[in-house]
Structure 1
Amino acid sequence: MERVLKVPGIAYGGDYNPEQWPEEVWAEDVRLMAEAGVNMVSVNIFSWALLEPSEGVYDFSRLDRVLDLLYTHGIAADLATPTAAPPAWFFKAHPEALPVDRDGRGLAYGSRQTFCPSSPAYREAAVRMARALGERYAEHPAVVMWHVHNEYGCHNAECYCDTSAASFRRWLREKYADDLAALNDAWGTTFWSQWYYDWDEIIPPRATGAVPNPAHRLDWRRFCSDELLSLCTAEREVLAEAAPAIPATTNFMVMYNFDALDYWRWAPELDIVSNDHYLRSTDPESEIDIAMSGDLVRSLAGGPWLLMEHSTGAVNWQPVNRAKGPGELKRNALAHVARGADGIAYFQWRAAKAGAEQWHSAMLPHAGTDSAIWRDVVALGADLKALAEVRGSTGTAETAIVWDWDAKWALELPSQPSEAVRFLEVVRSWYEPLWRAGVAVDFVRPDADLSAYRLVLAPSLYLVDDAGAANLTAFAERGGTLVAGFHSGAVDQNCHVRLGGYPGAFREALGVRTDELFPLLPGQEVSLDSGGSGALWSERVRLAGAQAVASYTDGPLAGVPAITRHGYGTGTAWYVATLPDAGTLAALLHRIREEADVRPVLDAVLPPGVEAVRRRGAEADYLFLIDHAGAGAEIAVAADAVELLGGKPVLGGSVSVPPGGVAVVREPRAV
């Protein structure tokens, strides 16, 4: 059964926590929600202690009244299972469910997500709660979506207790078909006398006196992701039994360097993919982070998705929590819509006056309705209503970037050639010039269907299995353009080095062979004969069919190729064996795009800081133009287009983007 979200237009709202306020405040809440154009709120996310005051004893009276009130006022509910925060009575009864960190330190309750993901007692209690909610509210007219848990793994992605150890062993026995010899081979346990003769000898990669086994650590990361996923699917299944037509989601966290979960494995288990995204105060161009996050979530979803949480202003968990500037709330929200979000929600509706997140911004701030944030929230509601027809439209990318959590986890294990190489930073450095050039980008896993793309970039694919490597090289062989970054293809799925020279799995397709790596020290650069410089990495590349596009001019590798191009089959494979400076990398990717015939969203050159994104609908295209620079812009568009936010036809074949503002243009279907 296909489960769809039954909310008209773009969903708009946020986390609603009425239990934190006297009941007389609720009437004001729903009145103001209507004023702001809110049509869906998430409720019950952290209410376990109030719903179940003691084991098996439920009190739904408050939640009944909340859901009835929302429905009466035309506001839909994304009803959460409150299992991210078990109550104190649960831990008093089941202290064994508390997690243990890598150093063997047991953690106490008194916060959220302080439970062991492998705890049978927790699983039983969480599923029981989900079943009770499902059975009680399956037919409630306010409930349009189940919100399973909240931000899985945000604080408890790994637990090293004995219960987790036993679960890890069960997971390993299933993965390796109960063949201990296969595990020993995969983990390379002949090194440092780590051979296992009995499954019970295997423990989690707890703190030790030296560097842990990388394959052991990698399988542990995979297990931890799967263990949390099993909790999510257990709750989702009992909800689906109770209410087969109601879709379920859980909120991902694909950016700000949260990497605990392999979301390629998670996304197919959900009816609707949703994501949380918060700006980092230290990022001077957070609009690029928003774009990259949106593209990744849309790719995980295979189409439209929901933004489940972001902030109207400052968050509360960074060393310095920056407020948003004029127009930034609107630009941020509509940038997510531009990249596929069919819903915009915030944490939270009303700013808390007590608790750990009391200084987190909200739709209704501490200052109340006489505030800039409130006026912006109301204006955004009107804008989203004007964009209702955009819902369901998709992306239009011809370029894909390979993103793989296994590769990220493996790259950032200890004892790499350079601990300065960080997956997210390398990928963003390649993504950024594409964003500036207005090029549409999808993200793909290594084994994805690549037939829709002209250009595939693998900036940082240290680990790749044989199937993924074969898929990527076949893409080039069949006529595509493949670009690989340094240290890609180096190891297989077990972190075993691919012998015979680097870059391992991609040597033949790239037409190069490296015999030694020369990572660069912090602040060190190497000059390139094409102009510009490289940082972070270099290696001794020997041509084996490829042509040198740029070579080092100084240092121990002077004269050695740094960037190469190789005709492979009917396509082309490039190798970038350093991290070029921003200008050099942008020029290189521009050249590669032109050769691959990949065009930006608009043929015209955009003013600096103006973002152009297109969503493709059933009958029209929707062009989002966002001015992050604050200078405004005049952009050529189709003569018979309509600017949706103003509700007016475009005159003269161009549309004005106000300084720091947004224009959304409906264009006739592009050929």
Structure 2
Amino acid sequence: MISTLLSRLRRGPDGAPAPRLAFGADYNPEQWPREVWEEDVRLMREAGVNVVSVGIFSWARLQPGPDAWDFGWLDDVMDLLHHNGVGVDLATATASPPPWLSAAHPEILPVTDRGETLWPGARQHWRPTSPVFREYALRLVRELATRYAGHPALVAWHVNNELGCHNVYDYSDDAARAFRVWLRGRYATLDALNHAWGTAFWSQRYSDWEQILPPRLAASHPNPTQQLDFKRFSSDALKDHLRAEREILRELTPDVPVTTNFMVMPGTKGMNYADWAAEVDFVANDHYVVPSPRDRDELSFSANLTSGIAGGRPWFLMEHSTSAVNWQPVNLAKKPGELARDSLTHVAHGADAVCFFQWRQSAAGAEKYHSAMVPHAGADSDLFRAVTALGDTLKTLAPVAGAEREPAEVGILFDWESWWASEQDSHPTSLLDYHREALDWYSALLTLGIRADVVPTGADLSRHRVVIAPVLHLVPAELAKDLTRYAEQGGHLVTTYFSGIVDENDHVWLGGYPGALRDLLGIRIEEFGPLAAGETVELDGAGTGGLWTDRISVTAPETEVLAHYRSGVQAGRPAVTRRPAGRGSAAYVSTRLGAEGLASLLPRLLEPAGVTSDLPAEARGRVEATVRRGPGGRFLFLVNRTDETVTVPGLTGEVLVGDAGEEGAVVLAGRGVAVLRTPTD
């Protein structure tokens, strides 16, 4: 349905068609006097902007009182944007309740696990399960949809904003009541719930549904399955709010696509976006770089995962930053070239829209130091010139629109429930970081110049010759069967420590670890061997391990030991194993090797599948390659991961973006991107 959005983008005043790739930002005209609006649209035309998100935080302006409405200013904005060839992704404005609502109904305010109320003064001060909030929010949505149903500027609906960013976990009485309803739907009977939660432990057996609460602050560790179910419920509660707004929009504007902006980033794990994807007409994502030695690897990983959530279909980059943000301890400006490289990396991974927060940098408020397309310095600035140059590049890349990601031979399995469950308390170590482990594998593949897809559980694994499932902690019986079938039918599975340990109820698979995957892997572990912070062990031929070790016994004669421990308690015992399974294999890595160690080990793990890099040797590790394929051709994106010039030889195709060298070479400037097109059959 993102094609529907693109098709609704109108021609500009000169009659020229708008670029097929969408380009724009959040636009907040309510922060500025009207005389600025004319300059805004003039600069939007100059930059090539063709879509903006409007009204995201405008509830208090649209509805200044319970029975008062003010749409005149928004009417003018919608008309002005339409007359200047800019489409509107119109927000439902429900993200931040107005002061009059929280003053009249403080019962909409979220409550922490300690019983503390989260008061107004910032944003997202509402309970996802509050019936009072839902009533007022849906009334606003209906008013907006009724008024703008036929407006020619409207190209999409933007439900709420960053659902769950600040209010994913609410422990209020409303949440308690909704949690009990959710649990009844999941378990039907108290006997089934008591079994799933293991309430025979610590005298926790429930005899009435009304006794059940969210996992509020307790004297000791709350019940682990209660915690896991509350995470599932909290994601579902936000999804239910998304559905409620969406249904009104579909009722009144059935031809206008509906989305909401996900936040596929390391720190936003509370929302199961793989589960939400079916609820929107096209996937949209917000992403912000957190500076680190591997920050651009993480950007690529998150963009890749967003593509996986979208099923490989095009998606919408709703927000990222032109330069510095405002919410990090130190807010670093982007280096020259990074604005374009970040943006085009998202396009490489399937984004058909590149948008920023925000259009014009705020003069007041909490985000006034957050960069924008038009900075405080104004249009006469290097930043705005970089924005305009990106707009020109996106016009050149118009043929890419609609192209899907070409599947890679390697898939990295990413599972929200394993993320939640593996990092709960009362585990062998509190140092485990699920996202970091998945990113380690991705970075190692980038270092080797090997393309990989990051895909959620439930994706079609047969598209990949190798599937890597790091810390796949929670494995229901059906998933174990699917992974076994994948290997036996010719796939090559690689998994790691703390995988296959529990079922969907967070109950341990008994008989020895790795439980659900023990027979497939041909190994058995009696006891975990987590390492103290900073402690390491040496492996023969596979570098240095940290965080974790396992005391592995090989149980199948055909299981091959690829690496042994050379030091530590497990010295001499297997550290990395592989067992043939049908036409495929299943391998196990029992320690955290980090990106560098995995880059050393991966060639041996990939060897049975015959997976190697498509990049010439001099570009591996320095250049990321990604492919999109569609009616307009096959598009090879080359992203320079370094600050130095890199020449990539031996390429064929039309160079759409970048500098062509001699004899089929492409020259990538530091932090540069090239795009080559070849015809498709």
Query: What TM-score comes out, normalization by structure 2 length?
Result: 0.96
Partners of 1:667 and 1:135 lie apart in 2 by: 46
Give RMSD over aligned pairs: 1.6
Q: What's the CA shift for 1:274? A: 0.6
| Alpha-carbon contact 1:645-1:663 (below 8 Å) kept | yes
Q: Sequence identity of aligned pairs in percent? A: 50
Partners of 1:638 and 1:584 lie apart in 2 by: 30
Moved more, 411-420 or 6-15: 6-15
Q: 2:80 matched to 1:59? A: no
**SS at 1:556 equivalent:** coil
Q: 2:565 matched to 1:556? A: no
Moved more, 223-232 or 626-635: 626-635
Moved more, 117-126 or 660-669: 660-669
Partners of 1:663 and 1:376 lie apart in 2 by: 17
Show the counterpart of 2:298.
289
Show the counterpart of 1:364.
374
Structure 2 portions without partners, runs of 5+: 10-18
**SS at 1:169 equivalent:** helix
Show the counterpart of 1:427.
438
Q: What's the CA shift for 1:661? A: 1.7
Moved more, 543-552 or 511-520: 543-552
**SS at 1:320 equivalent:** coil
| Alpha-carbon contact 1:608-1:629 (below 8 Å) kept | no
Q: What's the CA shift for 1:34? A: 0.4
**SS at 1:566 equivalent:** strand
**SS at 1:183 equivalent:** helix
Partners of 1:419 and 1:211 lie apart in 2 by: 13
| Alpha-carbon contact 1:2-1:245 (below 8 Å) kept | no
Partners of 1:622 and 1:543 lie apart in 2 by: 45
Within the candidate set 541, 547, 550, 2:552 is matched to 541
Structure 1 portions without partners, runs of 5+: none
Show the counterpart of 2:398.
388
Show the counterpart of 1:570.
583
Letter in 1 for 2:352: D
Query: What TM-score comes out, normalization by structure 1 length?
Result: 0.97
Show the counterpart of 1:138.
149
**SS at 2:436 equivalent:** helix
Q: What's the CA shift for 1:619? A: 4.8
Question: Counterparts of 1:220-235 in structure 2 under 5 Å?
Answer: 220-235=230-245
Within the candidate set 245, 251, 256, 2:266 is matched to 256
| Alpha-carbon contact 2:542-2:598 (below 8 Å) kept | no
Show the counterpart of 1:379.
389
Partners of 2:565 and 2:388 lie apart in 1 by: 56
**CA spacing shift, 1:315–1:127, aligned 2, 3 Å:** same
Within the candidate set 649, 657, 672, 1:636 is matched to 649
Letter in 2 for 1:84: A
Q: 2:603 matched to 1:594? A: no
Q: 2:218 matched to 1:208? A: yes
Q: 2:657 matched to 1:645? A: yes
**SS at 2:127 equivalent:** coil
| Alpha-carbon contact 1:601-1:613 (below 8 Å) kept | no
Within the candidate set 522, 528, 541, 2:539 is matched to 528
Show the counterpart of 1:660.
671
Q: What's the CA shift for 1:601? A: 4.3
Letter in 2 for 1:578: T
Q: 2:34 matched to 1:23? A: yes
Partners of 1:238 and 1:2 lie apart in 2 by: 20
**CA spacing shift, 1:601–1:33, aligned 2, 3 Å:** farther
Partners of 1:627 and 1:305 lie apart in 2 by: 23
Question: Counterparts of 1:339-350 in structure 2 under 5 Å?
Answer: 339-350=349-360
Partners of 2:623 and 2:373 lie apart in 1 by: 27
Show the counterpart of 1:4.
4
| Alpha-carbon contact 2:660-2:666 (below 8 Å) kept | no
Show the counterpart of 1:198.
208
Q: What's the CA shift for 1:465? A: 0.9
Within the candidate set 598, 619, 634, 1:606 is matched to 619
Partners of 2:132 and 2:165 lie apart in 1 by: 20
Show the counterpart of 2:422.
411
Q: 2:124 matched to 1:113? A: yes
Moved more, 395-404 or 597-606: 597-606
Show the counterpart of 2:450.
439
Q: 2:50 matched to 1:34? A: no
Within the candidate set 240, 243, 247, 2:253 is matched to 243
**CA spacing shift, 1:557–1:666, aligned 2, 3 Å:** same
**CA spacing shift, 1:445–1:311, aligned 2, 3 Å:** closer
Q: What's the CA shift for 1:643? A: 1.2
**CA spacing shift, 1:607–1:558, aligned 2, 3 Å:** closer
Give per-residue Cα distances to partners, 1:347-366, cap 9 Å, x unaligned: 00000000010110000000
Show the counterpart of 2:333.
323
**CA spacing shift, 1:3–1:529, aligned 2, 3 Å:** closer
Q: What's the CA shift for 1:638? A: 4.2
Give per-residue Cα distances to partners, 1:297-351, cap 9 Å, x unaligned: 0010111111100001100001110100111111111111111110000000000
Moved more, 652-661 or 426-435: 652-661
Q: What's the CA shift for 1:605? A: 4.3
Q: What's the CA shift for 1:110? A: 1.7
**CA spacing shift, 1:400–1:384, aligned 2, 3 Å:** same
Letter in 2 for 1:549: L
Partners of 2:676 and 2:177 lie apart in 1 by: 56
Number of aligned positions between the proteins = 666
